[in-house]
A and B are shown apart, each in its own frame.
Chain A
Amino acid sequence: MQAENAVGIKNLVKDYSAKIRAVDNISLDIKQGEIFGLIGPNGAGKTTTLRILATLLKPTSGRVTIFGMDVAKEQKKIRRIISYLPEDAGAYENLTGREYLKFIAGFFEGRKEEMVERGIRICALGERIDSKIKEYSKGMKRRLQIARALMMLPRLAILDEPTSGLDVIHAHYVRNEIKKEIKSSGATAVISSHNLLEVEFLCTRVGLISRGKLVEMGTPEELKKRYNASNLEEVFLAVVKYG
């Protein structure tokens, strides 16, 4: 039996003004359980696409569905099953890590204590979970954000640059947690990243965006084979250079 589409994007266009087209006629499907990587140079339209999936922006034209629900019409229903992690997302500095997780859990139906406990387990901050967030390092804040995004077992996790600016240890931890949690919960994830090794490690399929257009798509293995490359970085350079 074919898996249900978690995300369906058809002819998506997003204009910010008459002169600025951020996303230009993108179409793609992401199946349930996939970890889909969105890569591309700065200003390619990755964040805009993720924000449309997160119901923050509306498409100018085209149709985007999440588990069959239209992002332009059924935002409230969609928001119950997605979680979104913006790049460089901050948290409330005067709350403790635990209070922040409780605050976010307060918006969702279900057993909130369980969500918070899961969040505490994912971020693994130990006793520091009861310290104020302003006392956290950048890596600790990002771990808290990852925990916040995954603790309510979203059906679709939208993660924008999840390890951006982190040191090797924190980045390694965050990557592993994302892979583990997404796999164990059977969720779907869309991840944008500039770290192509990370994308290769995490993603089952990759889409490459350049100047708002989807220029390449496939599994990391397929793409490497197609461009006779040893890693995704070489694929990226080849596509961006010639695409």
Chain B
Amino acid sequence: MANALLNIVQKELKEMFRDPRLLIGMILVPLLIFPVMGSVIRVSMEATEASVTSVSAGFMSRDASDGNGTMAVYLYSYLEASGIHLRNTSADNLSAALEECRKNGINILIEIPSNFTECIANGSSARVKLYQMLRNYGIGEGAESSVVLSAIDRFNEYIISARLVSIFPDAKPDELLHPVVIEANSVISGEVKEVSPALVITTIMSTSMAMPVVIMILLLMAGQLAATSVAMEKEQKTLEVLLTMPINRMYLLIGKISGVIVLSIIATASYILGFTYYMSTLTSTTGVESARIDLETLGIVPDFQGYFLMLASLFLAFLAVLSLSVLLGAYTKDVRSAQALLGVLYIPILIPTLILMMAPLEILPPGMQVLIYAIPFSYPILATKALYTHEYALLYAGLIYQLVFTFVVLYIASKFFASEKILTAKIELKKKKVMVED
């Protein structure tokens, strides 16, 4: 009878791999959409970066002090040295100065008050005004003014250190500015590592954040595929013919699930490929890569056991979601009803993903922890976290729970497939009724 099972699996695979909607939706789209998204983000980031590296500003000085030594001239030189292209404006009032900037394609105007040098000399705050003409309210505009503001911050530090050096002539200006310096270290598995905890967390988050999302998408897709596939067999009455074949009906169930698993594995590979490319595009653009640390040297390395548990829990989650979806699909009358009913299954898949992405399990209220443990789809997400924490005891218990859950659902599904309910149960969108034909 292994031949009969093989026969069904082969048919499932042929049907799925020849369906252009599935091929495009599950394999080609992930392969293309992520690189396209990455490229689009890269282009916009590069455009933003380009606009930031060539910031221009109008400079309207009302500083009353004369001569080359005024602070306004110092500030002008400092900003120019910081890479900001300044254009002195000859206008004598604000609106004329803004109009001049606008005509010259400059978005920012820096207005130096008349008491600028005097205030700095007296040790009081000089109030410089910055005007930015907002046009598109984009990130690039925000970055433009940030460049000017941070240059002025550095100018402030320059003045402060110049003042302090007169009091502490032997001290280093940088140390004068930072009387307290903190060195944050991470303690990992009892060992002190000279790396900032924030950096470790950021690095792990950037590596592992994507995993739960990918798992969630795959579980949703696999569920959709399995339920649709069974509902399609009912709608087209191919199931009716299959049920009269001299085979164990369990094979129909296993064959359907096996076909979806094979397609899901390929879809997973396609997602991971696409997503990896997407992440690499983002990190190379944003410079996150340079801030990363080598997790291996810190001893935060996923080990074989971690990978095994992740794959095993993912496989069992797949089986659980597929068994439930096949059962849901078999209960419905047609594809449309199956897809509507499948929304019920989306909730337990989305809940653990969203919650665990936001907060670790331990800090959740007890009721919510129980809910997460009760959902069999939580465990692959918990396993991605355990890759770094190496706390596996819970996952082994989870595997047993997933196994029991899957077997129970499979048992119910096989009983359902073996009964006449597979043919007579026809849940429609808004009503449950048994349709009687002839």
Q: Give the Cβ gap from A77 to chain B, nearest Cβ, in Å.
A: 8
Cβ-defined contact, A94 with B424, below 8 A: no
Considering only CB atoms, which chain A residue lies closest to B434 in the complex? A16
Given A57-B424, A95-B15: A88 in contact with B237 (beta carbons within 8 A): yes
Stretch at the interface among B36-44, B200-208, B242-250, B407-415: B242-250
Q: Give the Cβ gap from A134 to chain B, nearest Cβ, in Å.
A: 9
Considering only CB atoms, which chain B residue lies closest to A41 in the complex? B438
Residue B7 interfacial (CB < 8 Å)? yes
Residue B238 interfacial (CB < 8 Å)? yes
Given A42-B438, A57-B424, A107-B246: A95 in contact with B4 (beta carbons within 8 A): no
A83 to B241, CA, bound (A): 8
Q: Give the Cβ gap from A147 to chain B, nearest Cβ, in Å.
A: 13
A95 to B19, CA, bound (A): 10
Cβ-defined contact, B246 with A76, below 8 A: yes
Given A16-B436, A43-B438, A48-B436: A107 in contact with B420 (beta carbons within 8 A): no
Chain A residues with Cβ under 8 A from B438's Cβ?
A: 22, 40, 42-48, 192
A46 to B246, CA, bound (A): 23
A218 to B383, CA, bound (A): 70
Cβ-defined contact, A94 with B14, below 8 A: yes
Cβ-defined contact, A80 with B423, below 8 A: no
Given A57-B420, A92-B11, A94-B15: A108 in contact with B246 (beta carbons within 8 A): yes
Cβ-defined contact, A90 with B246, below 8 A: no
Q: Give the Cβ gap from A150 to chain B, nearest Cβ, in Å.
A: 13
A107 to B243, CA, bound (A): 11
Chain A residues with Cβ under 8 A from B244's Cβ?
A: 54-56, 79, 82-84
Q: Give the Cβ gap from A181 to chain B, nearest Cβ, in Å.
A: 18
Given A95-B14, A103-B11: A56 in contact with B245 (beta carbons within 8 A): no
Interface residues on A, range: 35 or more
Q: Give the Cβ gap from B241 to chain A, nearest Cβ, in Å.
A: 6
Q: Give the Cβ gap from B147 to chain A, nearest Cβ, in Å.
A: 57
Chain A residues with Cβ under 8 A from B3's Cβ?
A: 106
In A5-28, the 8 Å CB interface with B consists of 16-17, 20, 22
Residue in B11, B237, B420 whose beta carbon sits within 8 Å of that of A95 in the complex: B11
Cβ-defined contact, A22 with B436, below 8 A: yes
Cβ-defined contact, B15 with A86, below 8 A: no
Considering only CB atoms, which chain B residue lies closest to A55 in the complex? B244
Residue A132 interfacial (CB < 8 Å)? yes
Cβ-defined contact, B436 with A86, below 8 A: no
Cβ-defined contact, A106 with B7, below 8 A: yes
Chain A residues with Cβ under 8 A from B236's Cβ?
A: 89-91, 93
Considering only CB atoms, which chain A residue lies closest to B11 in the complex? A103
Chain A residues with Cβ under 8 A from B289's Cβ?
A: none
Cβ-defined contact, B241 with A103, below 8 A: no
Q: Give the Cβ gap from B312 to chain A, nearest Cβ, in Å.
A: 32
A182 to B423, CA, bound (A): 28
Residue B18 interfacial (CB < 8 Å)? yes
Chain A residues with Cβ under 8 A from B436's Cβ?
A: 16, 20, 22, 43, 48
Residue B240 interfacial (CB < 8 Å)? yes
A56 to B437, CA, bound (A): 13
Residue in B11, B240, B247 whose beta carbon sits within 8 Å of that of A89 in the complex: B240
Find the residue from A22, A90, A95 having the highest chain B CB count within 10 A.
Answer: A90
Q: Give the Cβ gap from B155 to chain A, nearest Cβ, in Å.
A: 70
What 5 pairs across the A-B complex have the smallest Cβ distances?
A90-B236, A47-B438, A94-B18, A106-B7, A79-B246
Having A47-B437, A90-B237, A107-B4, one finds 20 other A-B pairs with CB under 8 Å, namely A17-B434, A22-B438, A40-B438, A43-B436, A43-B437, A45-B438, A56-B243, A56-B420, A57-B420, A76-B246, A84-B241, A89-B240, A90-B235, A90-B236, A93-B15, A95-B18, A99-B14, A103-B7, A107-B7, A107-B245
> Could you list 23 examples of A-B contacts with CB < 8 Å?
A17-B434, A20-B434, A22-B436, A43-B437, A43-B438, A44-B438, A47-B437, A48-B436, A51-B423, A55-B244, A56-B423, A57-B423, A82-B244, A84-B241, A84-B244, A90-B237, A103-B7, A104-B245, A106-B4, A106-B7, A107-B4, A107-B245, A148-B241
